[in-house]
């Protein structure tokens, strides 16, 4: 994550300085093979292929999340991985901000709400195991990660873990050289 007191966060489109070692998690998540779509070839310029890749990973139309995709690209994408996370990873998972709250805190807040979002997350919790993949960004597979897409599913997953379930969740992890605006603490 970005070191405390570091400047340069003028707003959207301002990916920060290189990541610091202070955001490293003590353990690594289960790391899968590089995503096969990274090896896909085509005639699009590399930047457009990367935008399309991120849109596919996020599973959303470009016009809905173009600002999120732009932030990911601006942060210097170096790799994309499929990772599996569990209860031990919760202290290192945040939800897009700024500032990005820890996932357990965000989930508790949503579950205490009385609105459509809360009702939707409660429905997901009641349906049982939560399915991924979600989209997250991080400096490496051992850094803290921030969820950018699939937040409601992540809230349901964290709520299930808090109730004693032992589910694991799959995330598409985009590894970048600099934090995105949404990771600013």
pLDDT tens figures, 6-49 = 322 223 333 445 555 444 443 444 444 333 332 222 333 355 45
Residue 45 has what pLDDT?
39
pTM of the model: 0.70
**Residue keyed to tokens 């195991």:** 129
pLDDT tens figures, 44-82 = 335 545 655 666 665 655 556 677 878 888 888 888 888
Distance of alpha carbon 88 from alpha carbon 27, whole angstroms:
9
Q: 185, 179, 173, 180: which is closest to 82 by C-alpha? A: 173
DSSP letter assigned to residue 37: G
Residue 24 has what pLDDT?
40
User: What phi and psi values does residue 161 have, to the nearest 5 degrees?
Assistant: -65, -40
57-71, 78-92, 93-107, 156-170: least confident range: 57-71
Is the omega angle on the peptide bond into residue 107 within 30 degrees of 0, that is, cis?
A: no
């Amino acid at each position: 994550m970005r070191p405390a007191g570091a400047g340069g966060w003028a707003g959207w489109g301002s990916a920060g300085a290189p990541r610091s070692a202070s955001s490293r998690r003590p353990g690594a998540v289960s790391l899968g093979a590089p995503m096969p779509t990274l090896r896909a070839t085509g005639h699009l310029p590399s930047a457009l292929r990367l935008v399309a890749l991120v849109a596919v990973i996020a599973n959303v139309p470009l016009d809905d999340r173009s600002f999120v995709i732009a932030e990911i690209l601006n942060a210097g994408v170096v790799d994309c991985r499929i990772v599996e996370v569990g209860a031990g990873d919760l202290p290192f998972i945040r939800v897009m901000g700024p500032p990005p709250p820890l996932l357990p805190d965000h989930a508790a807040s949503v579950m205490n709400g009385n609105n459509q979002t809360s009702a939707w997350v409660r429905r997901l919790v009641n349906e049982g195991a939560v399915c991924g993949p979600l989209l997250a960004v991080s400096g490496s597979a051992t850094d803290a990660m921030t969820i950018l897409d699939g937040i409601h599913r992540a809230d349901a997953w964290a709520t299930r873990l808090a109730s004693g379930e032992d589910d694991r969740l799959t995330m598409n992890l985009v590894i970048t050289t600099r934090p995105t605006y949404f990771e600013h603490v």
